[in-house]
Amino acid sequence: MDQIRVTGGNALNGDIPIAGAKNACLTLMPAALLSEEPLTLTNAPRLSDIRTMSKLLESLGCEVAPLQDGKVLALGCGEITNHTAHYDIVRKMRASILVLGPMLARDGHAVVSLPGGCAIGARPVDLHLKALEALGAELDLRDGYVHAKAPAGGLQGGKVSFPFVSVGATENILMAATLAKGTTVIENAAREPEIVDLAQCLRAMGARIEGEGTSTITVEGVDRLHGATHRVLTDRIELGTYMLAPAIAGGEVTLLGGRRDLLGAFCEKLEQAGMRITESPRGLTVARIADTILPTDVTTEPYPGFPTDLQAQMMALLTLAQGESVLEETIFENRFMHAPELIRMGARIDVHGGTAKVTGVSKLRGAPVMATDLRASVSLVLAGLAAEGETVVSRVYHLDRGYERLEEKLSAVGAQIRREKEDA
């Protein structure tokens, strides 16, 4: 098993290219199930989660061909030959549930294991299922699997009103509605850029969609979708993560391809903490403009609010702020599991339920720490960039699910970081 060793103390300067979005690509790939014609995705990230989704789609009868060093994915699902998404693949990744809507819409039946993924809360799929029921689906949960069947004439357009915003459920029902008979109205829909990216891809395939990026999306079902080529959106979570690197370590870094509109609320908080953010045609440039990091309070919210997927990384920065910060996690429970590991490095963090009070310290100390989930793992790497001495992060297979060539990108701007095998 691999571990990452970081020696802190180096200011970071230079350019970091930002990859295509993991969360967008994992949503776009199941859209290939909606058409007999190929879907080609460019700017795809090279990540373990993408490989897992590829294996899942292949198990259903799709052909997935990585092209041009993996950044282009050609997906062909001329026929869905297997309608069961088995536990042994689905357990590895929450996004696996996104094959349910497309299979049900295209062929009228699907059996999908309840998914797994990071241990950051229950994250139930009940909103996905209730949304599909609103389109006429008959669902039966037994033995850890969702058995889904469409009515005789296929899914029917309907009104879906979410009690709270869910990105995954919005994605699933959006794909299913493209082939439903009649009009589907999705209320309290997620507004994330990944939703807009999916809608643009589906529209390129022939779908009739209006309102993406707002809280109400309207879909007029069509008889069939055709093939298309679509460029995957820039990864805003990778973007935000690397924006925090010069913030915590010092220096000035340009994130190539970055856009402020993807992370407006996050950028505001970073500026409150004492950073300068400059946007140009090349991307976003981040620099620490003061000797000290200023405290700021953060509450995670659905887009366009502060992303839950950047909460752990922001906490790493605020451990060195001159004062007290409060982070409130409103999206997922159990998402402060990185706090005890940061405390091992000298941080002062007090967690009560969904709130963490962070009292800044003058320095962090390198220590052996353990990654507990994807975003927590990279927060420990960020903390290591500023810590005195060496930080060794174990269980970095979590990190490989969401960050492409992390050591290479950070080394290129001056970080002392390397990957190595853990001692037996």
pLDDT of amino acid 123: 47
**2 annotated among ligand-binding-site residues:** no
As a whole number of angstroms, the distance between CA 315 and CA 345 comes to 13
> What mean pLDDT, rounded, does the chain reach?
94
Q: Check for a shared fold between 2-15+235-421 and 24-231.
A: yes
CATH entry 3.90.700.10 includes domain 24-231 = no
Residue 23 labeled ligand binder: yes
Give the tens place of pLDDT for each residue, 192-210: 999 999 999 999 999 999 9
Q: Is 127 annotated as a binding residue?
A: yes
Mean pLDDT (whole number) for 385-389: 98
Taking only the tens place, the pLDDT of each residue in 325-369 is 999 999 877 779 999 999 999 999 999 999 999 999 999 999 999
Q: Residue 176 to residues 76, 158, 317, 420: CA-CA distances in angstroms? A: 18, 11, 40, 44
Annotated binding-site residue? 395: no
Q: Is 126 annotated as a binding residue?
A: yes
In tens, the pLDDT along 39-88 reads 999 999 999 999 999 999 999 999 999 887 889 999 999 999 999 999 99
Give one word for 308, left, alpha or beta, with left for phi > 0 and alpha for psi -120 to 50.
alpha
What pLDDT was estimated at residue 118?
41
Q: Has residue 136 got a pLDDT over 80?
A: yes
Q: Is 125 assigned a ligand-binding role in the annotation?
A: yes
All structural domains of the chain with their residue ranges: 2-15+235-421, 24-231
Please say whether the structural domain 2-15+235-421 has been given the CATH code 3.30.1960.10: no
pLDDT tens digits for range 74-125: 999 999 999 999 999 988 888 899 999 999 999 999 999 987 544 434 446 8
pLDDT digits (tens, 9 = 90+) for 211-265: 999 999 999 999 999 999 999 999 999 999 999 999 999 999 999 999 999 999 9
pLDDT single digits (tens) 138-161: 999 988 899 999 999 999 999 999
User: Annotation-wise, does 13 bind a ligand?
Assistant: no
**Structural contact between residues 312 and 341, judged by C-beta atoms closer than 8 angstroms:** no
Tens digit of pLDDT for each residue in 388-420?
Answer: 999 999 999 889 888 999 999 999 999 999 999
- 186 annotated ligand-binding residue: no
User: Which active-site residues does the annotation give?
Assistant: 118
Q: What is the pLDDT of residue 217?
A: 98
Are β-strands 324-328 and 298-299 bridged in parallel, bridged antiparallel, or unpaired?
parallel
Give me the pLDDT at residue 119, please: 41
Tell whether omega for the bond before 281 is within 30 degrees of 0, i.e. cis.
no
